[in-house]
Chain A
């Protein structure tokens, strides 16, 4: 873990918050929002109550490495791992194991033809285990 657990976002005054927090704002918050809530109408799933459940599943972890925000973030694998762990620490502390750069490299190498189909598969699998993840209304 990167030691940012429980750190609530309190506006621009907090300067020394680490690279992962800055990367989250610069590369993720535009769509996922400063509070990780996303936008149902925009097709951006919310993090709270959901991202940790996906990250606790093997297929879910591979899915996470192929979502549009990750593949287009222009971050290297270590940077992706840091931001993933920042997100997990902030919105679902303790629910899933942290990512290592090696795991990011390995899962990004897995071919994924259609990430939306993969999300449906993850949601279906988790639902069959009794776990509900964030709504994703887009076809």
Chain B
């Protein structure tokens, strides 16, 4: 009986040794690395990182990119959100005007009136593809100086060149 077990082990050893030597003769070590690498990369590319497709809404414009957005009701100028900035921040490289036009706009969500400051961003050329809006609600002709908005509000800045306009809510009107 012990002889039988010895023989069995010997034959397993021999078979294993034969397989390993044969593999070592025919397969390069690099071929394993190459195949393992392909398998890992493929798994990473094929598995979604997030459970939704983030590209789905990337092309949808933001509501503030449209002149009819409620905060733009008294605006006269280019939207900063379409000039490389956002609804409330100047694009990089431009500076906010120290004086501004203030209008009153109704928020359709709560039907309340808000005071909105339209600060110009100054010191950079205008962006050709920017959306230009002329809503200017409440504006009056130039002889009503305090109610006249056709003005470059960059006039009080060091850089007087007009770039675009932001719409910032600064208070409630009621």
Q: For A34, give the chain B residue with the smallest CB separation.
A: B170
Inter-chain contacts of A74 with B (CB < 8 A): 144, 146-147
Residues of chain B whose beta carbon lies under 8 Å from any beta carbon of chain A: 98-102, 104, 114-115, 117, 144-147, 155-158, 169-174
A-B contact pairs, 18 of them (CB 8 A): A12-B169, A12-B170, A12-B172, A25-B102, A25-B115, A26-B173, A27-B102, A29-B100, A29-B102, A30-B99, A30-B100, A31-B99, A34-B170, A44-B99, A44-B156, A72-B145, A72-B146, A74-B144
Interface of B is mostly: strand
Task: Tally A-B pairs: CB < 8 A.
Answer: 67
Choose among A21, A30, A68 the residue with the greatest number of B CB atoms under 10 Å from its CB: A30
Given A29-B117, A42-B155, A72-B144: A21 and B171 within 8 A (CB)? Answer: yes
Q: Which residues of chain B are within 8 angstroms of A34 by Cβ–Cβ distance?
A: 170
Contacts of B173 in A (CB 8 A): 22, 26
Interface size class of A (residues with CB under 8 A): 20 to 34
Min distance, Cβ B94 to any Cβ of chain A, angstroms = 17
Q: In the complex the two chains form, is B99's CB within 8 Å of A73's CB? A: no
